[in-house]
């Protein structure tokens, strides 16, 4: 039985309005209804390839700065697990959608994906490993909440159904819980001011997650900044 409110519970509560907007975002609604244009899903996958590869690297870079063997182990395994899990699933999607290496290489990374990744690097290199862990957490946790929210309904398009299932598997929920635990451990190692910074980056990552759906729906590009 849960007896007290944890640090991550508090952050979750603060991020709730943003998370609800992600769960109910038109991208997710259209995906579950089978109405999301395949060109939009394709756009999302191309941007997310960059995100996932940087996300994996960040695991190892954070681990390099930690002392706790179990935290290091979890993060290193996380980087490996990503390759065998989500990245492997995406490779299947790429084949199915005829997304080639050339297309990947020619795809410019859109501002929101770029900024989100830079935000996580800044949490590490201009902040602390604890802060970087907190910046990574919404990625794990929010997708699990989205997966749980939409799994019962499913999606009529096989590719979209496979995407949903990635985020509702038992093994994945397990890793989310471990990441939550790791964040609470990190929070217990720092002072109040740093815990505030951890909260700040968690909320910003949550905002970037919301922005990511919008980016994908709009097929955002750099013209958004320059026109
Ligand atoms: C923008 C964006 N945010 C979150 C995820 C989901 N995700 C990425 S790595 C990871 C951890 C282990 O799989 C999870 C859940 C995504 N794909 N793209």
Quick: pLDDT tens for 71-120.
Answer: 999 999 999 988 888 888 999 999 999 999 999 999 999 999 999 999 99
The 8-class DSSP code of residue 99 comes to: -
Report the pLDDT value the prediction gives residue 1, as an integer from 0 to 100. 60
Ligand 1 pocket mutation, candidates 56, 115, 143, 177, criterion most atoms within 8 A of CB: 143
Q: What is the number of domains present in the chain?
A: 1
The pLDDT of 18-33, averaged and rounded, is: 98
Select from 23, 44, 52 the residue to mutate for testing ligand 1; criterion: most ligand atoms less than 8 Å from CB. 52
Among residues 126, 140, 119, 122, the alpha carbon closest in space to that of 183 is found at: 140
Predicted complex ipTM exceeds 0.90? yes
Residue 2 inside a domain? The answer is no
Distance 9 CA to ligand 1 centre (A): 20
Distance 28 CA to ligand 1 centre (A): 15
Q: What was the pLDDT predicted at 226?
A: 87
pLDDT over 70, % of the chain: 99
CA atoms within 13 A on the CB side of 33: 10
Average pLDDT value over all residues in the chain: 96
198, 116 in Cβ contact below 8 A? Answer: no
The whole-angstrom separation of Cα 162 and Cα 139 is: 18
Mean pLDDT of 164-189: 94
Does this model's pTM top 0.95? yes
Q: Is residue 33 part of a domain?
A: yes
Q: Which domain holds residue 36?
A: 10-221
Task: Residue 198: give its domain's CATH number.
Answer: 1.20.910.10
For ligand 1, atom 11, the nearest C-alpha belongs to: 140
Ligand 1 atom with the smallest distance to the CA of 85 is 13
Separation between Cα atoms, residue 8 and residue 64, nearest integer Å: 23
**Does residue 4 lie in a domain region?**
no
Interval between CA 87 and ligand 1 midpoint (Å): 10
Percent of residues, the chain, with pLDDT higher than 90: 89
């Amino acid at each position: 039985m849960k007896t007290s409110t944890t640090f991550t519970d508090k952050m979750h509560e603060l991020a709730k309005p943003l998370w609800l907007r992600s769960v109910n975002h038109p991208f997710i609604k259209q995906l579950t209804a089978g109405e999301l244009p395949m060109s939009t899903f394709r756009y999302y996958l191309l941007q997310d390839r960059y995100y996932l590869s940087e996300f994996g690297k960040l695991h190892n870079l954070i681990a390099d700065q930690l002392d706790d063997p179990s935290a290091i182990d979890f993060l290193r395994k996380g980087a490996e697990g990503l390759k065998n899990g989500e990245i492997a699933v995406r490779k299947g999607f790429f084949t199915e959608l005829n997304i080639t290496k050339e297309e990947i290489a020619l795809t410019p990374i859109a501002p929101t994906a770029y900024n989100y990744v830079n935000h996580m690097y800044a949490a590490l290199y201009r902040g602390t490993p604890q802060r970087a862990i907190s910046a990574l957490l919404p990625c794990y946790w929010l997708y699990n909440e989205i997966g749980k929210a939409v799994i019962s309904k499913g999606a009529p398009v096989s590719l979209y159904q496979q995407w949903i299932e990635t985020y509702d598997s038992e093994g994945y929920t397990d890793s989310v819980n471990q990441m939550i635990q790791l964040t609470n451990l990190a929070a217990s190692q720092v002072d109040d001011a740093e815990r505030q910074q951890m909260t700040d980056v968690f909320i910003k990552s949550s905002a970037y997650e919301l922005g990511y759906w919008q980016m994908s729906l709009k097929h955002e590009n750099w013209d958004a900044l320059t026109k």
